[in-house]
Amino acid sequence: MKARNLAGQCVVLTGATSGIGRATAVQFARAGVDLVLAARRQNVLDEVAAQCQALGAQVLVVPTDVTDERAVRALASAAVARFGGIDVWVNNVGVGAVGSFVQTPLKSHHRVIEANLLGHINGAHAVLPHFIARKSGVLINMISVGAWAAAPYASAYSASKFGLRGFSEALRGELHEWRDIHVCDVYPAFMDTPGVSHAANYTGRKLRPAPPLYDPRLAAAAVVSLAREPRSSVSVGGAATAMRLAHWVSPALSAWLGAQAVERGLSSADSAPRSDGNLFAPSVGAGIDGGYRHKVARTAVPTTAVAVAAGLVIGLLAHRLARRT
């Protein structure tokens, strides 16, 4: 497929105020698109808009909670009214709740599903009729390697991400007759964003991500690349590929390694109060980077490194055994 010229295209981006979302807004602005930025915080949206306008983009800000289907439909209508149509829609909102399943409040499990899964469904339901009427459009779902590798102690997060993968696959099947309508998935590994500090935390321990951590701008670049040249999916970061391989070989071992990594990390972490994070109210931080890449304790390195290495070794062994049989 010939790469699309994004200049003058209308791009709607949810979750635009921090992390991958903010990095994606900046990269789209550099590509010359017309941006519609959505998130819950008006003041931070205005800040991101100013940054994008300084790069030459036209920007519309629409404060939106993606769990509210009427608000998401209003977002789509505002984009069409301002720019005449929507060419690309990026579902980027993602939240998490960390803690054992039974100690995490049920309302928090529900909220994670509402934001991560139903929020994406709301976005797709709002924009796909528009794409079908125009016979073209690109829907990009920010999912996570968590759609392939389970995340023990974040069970609702896993449920939402596994669900999103199935949702995207189902949509691609339904939309096969429209060759110019694309549903694309992004599967990043662990990105160094403020996401961990924003997450709900019911562990009683301070959360810290385990390496390897990647620059969120890599995920943003993947989103912009999909807008230019749509394809079904893309993984971001070598660890994402390794974890997908490990899950393919042995889902049970993959989940066990994940649980071991979390338990080991929490056992050495400082105490912290229980918190709902940004599940029910917007978070405070709004940067692209989490600042963890140069702060992660050296003791955390073996946990993820071992899991990734194990995935690669198991995959290679399985491949060799398959060739012999």
Long-range CB contacts (within 8 A, 24+) of 27-31: 27/217, 27/220, 27/221, 27/223, 27/224, 28/52, 28/57, 28/223, 28/224, 28/227, 29/53, 29/55, 29/56, 29/57, 29/59, 30/55, 31/6, 31/7, 31/224
Q: Which residues are catalytic?
A: 157
CATH of domain 10-324: 3.40.50.720
Question: Are 109 and 155 spatial neighbours (Cβ–Cβ below 8 Å)?
Answer: yes
The label of the residue with tokens 């808009």 reads: 49
Give me 86's structure tokens.
């929507």
Spatial CB neighbours of 112, under 8 Å, sequence gap ≥ 6: 95, 96, 97, 156, 157, 159, 160, 200, 279
For residues 93 and 71, what is the distance between their CA atoms, to the nearest angstrom?
14
Decide: residue 81, CB within 10 A, 0-12 exposed, 13-18 middle, 19+ buried: exposed
* Whether the model pTM is above 0.85: yes
Give the model confidence (pLDDT) of 115-172 as tens digits: 999 999 999 999 999 999 999 999 999 999 889 888 899 999 999 999 999 999 999 9
Q: Delimit the domains of the chain by residue range.
A: 10-324
* Of 120, 90, 121, 95, the residue nearest 28 (C-alpha): 90
Nearest alpha-carbon partner for 240 in 113, 117, 147: 147
Convert the pLDDT of each residue in 44-100 to its tens digit: 999 999 999 999 999 999 999 999 999 999 999 999 999 999 999 999 999 999 999
